[in-house]
Amino acid sequence: MRAQVYKDPRPAEHFTRFHERVRRRPPDPMYEVVRMVLSPLIWTLWRGRCIASDNIPASGPVILAPNHFSFLDHFFLAAFIRRKVQFMAKSQLFTRPLQFVYSHGGVFPVRRGHHDEEAFVTAETILGRGGMVAMYCEGGRSRTGKISDQAKPGIGRLALESGAKVVPVAIFGTQRARNWKRFQFPKVTVQYGEPLSFETAADPSRERQQAVADEVLAAIKELYGGLEEHGRRGIAQRIRAQRRARRTATA
């Protein structure tokens, strides 16, 4: 597996134009082009299916918080959602020719290894206009095939400062998604958890940011553990049974 480059040597000014574009406008038709090209492959080759996508609020600011095993996680996360998802992606991805696709599709860079305030300004701008941002609370991609033990505090900061609801997401199966190069396509399941809400704070402490991030990561792990233990069908059956019980109780 190719070694990760954690620190982008390019200056912050190099990425200004990408942030400005995303702050000014929502994703343009490029987003739908990418969705139309990749979604059929996700549904067929990887037999991608989702569980409980209706947990995502139909409107208002939302942060999607998935685990992260593969570059393809971006596409699996968005394939089952009607709303457009805007991704915070590592700046190393912003090279020609794909940087055109990314910026027009609403993706914006974060300079890992740097204190990148611009990424937070862009994310909060999107959420401020009622948009949806995806942010991996583990920071980077896991290289072990397991979810990290601790979250990075950034997602806690974004949730607290924006007041957006956070939807934990478990993406199960993508640790083997790179096997497509050997014509092997593992079955992938995406489960969207129930939204988490946190009281807005203008200047949250580092400890509070970390506590929120850890709570989000714990919710992701619970979803992932359920898929690992019971499988796609078992979890779907459990959720249907729980919803029937709720309807019966309120009838």
The CATH number of the domain holding residue 230 is 3.40.1130.10
Say if 6 falls within a structural domain.
Answer: no
* pLDDT at 143 (0 to 100): 81
Quote the domain boundaries for residue 84.
13-250
Q: How confident is the model at residue 5 (pLDDT cuts 50, 70, 90)?
A: low
- The pLDDT value recorded for residue 229 is 97
* In-domain check, residue 233: yes
For the cut 90, the answer to whether the pLDDT of residue 244 exceeds it is: yes
Mean pLDDT of all residues in 102-107 = 96
Q: Is the pLDDT of residue 92 over 70?
A: yes
Torsions phi, psi for 134 (to 5 deg): -105, 130
Report yes or no on 3 lying in a domain. Answer: no
Residue 152 to residues 33, 44, 115, 216, 249: CA-CA distances in angstroms? 32, 34, 13, 11, 39
**Residue 242 parent element (H or E):** helix 206-250
Task: Say if residue 3's pLDDT is above 70.
Answer: no
The span from the CA of 172 to the CA of 194, in Å, is 17
Say if residue 183's pLDDT is above 70.
Answer: yes
Residue 2 predicted with pLDDT over 80: no
For residue 250, what pLDDT band results from cuts at 50, 70 and 90? confident
Least reliable range by pLDDT among 4-18, 88-102, 150-164, 200-214: 4-18
Mean pLDDT of 234-238: 96
Q: Does 5 fall in a domain?
A: no
Q: Minimal CA–CA distance to 205: which of 161, 143, 248?
A: 161
- Number of structural domains in the chain: 1
Q: What is the mean pLDDT of the chain?
A: 94
Mean pLDDT to the nearest integer, 19-46 = 96
The verdict on residue 193 lying in a domain is: yes
Torsion sign, CA atoms 42, 90, 107, 172: positive
The reported pLDDT for the residue numbered 113 is 81
pLDDT tens-digit readout, 200-212 = 999 999 999 999 9
Instruction: Give domain status of residue 8, yes or no.
Output: no
- 181 domain residue, yes or no: yes
Give 4's pLDDT tier (boundaries 50, 70, 90). Answer: low
Nearest to 119 by CA among 218, 8, 23: 23
Average pLDDT over residues 204-228: 98
Name every residue whose Cβ is closer than 8 Å to that of residue 116 and which is 6 or more positions away in sequence.
Answer: 12, 110
